[in-house]
Structure 1
Amino acid sequence: MAADLGRRKGVSAESLAGFLVDATFAAMQRDVAMIVETGEGQPDIVDTIVHVWTQALYAPTAPSRARTGRS
């Protein structure tokens, strides 16, 4: 499965990658702070980060003709 950034008009690969890395880093900072303060981290952080990355890179931006049955 490969990302098709061409579907995301106006979004460069560099800016999308930068956003994803920054968002991941911020989530990790919050998780580490939570662990230091409470001894427990965010229970679903890995699943959440994977979901965000997957949606940003691989989710369709509009319904495809095959799925809508329209031509």
Structure 2
Amino acid sequence: MKKSILNLGNALSKVAQKQVKGGTKLTTPGECDAIEGNVPYGCPCKSNWCAPGLRCDTAQQSHLDGICVYS
């Protein structure tokens, strides 16, 4: 039985693990005060403002164009 439990599902990449609810730390307002091109995950953004590896998801509403999420 232990073998069958250990073989369930697939291993998640680090990026996929962070997308699981609770897998990323929430950003505080001070962390969102970043330079264009270096805005962290979960912060409001405009196009091309997000840090490398992130994109501005315009499907999520914010006071700007969207929210920085993993690409």
Higher helix share: 1
Fold-level similarity (TM above 0.5): no
Higher strand share: 2
Larger Rg: 1
TM-score between the two structures when normalised by the length of structure 1: 0.21
TM-score between the two structures when normalised by the length of structure 2: 0.21
- RCO (CA 8 Å, sep 6+): is it higher in 1 or 2? 1
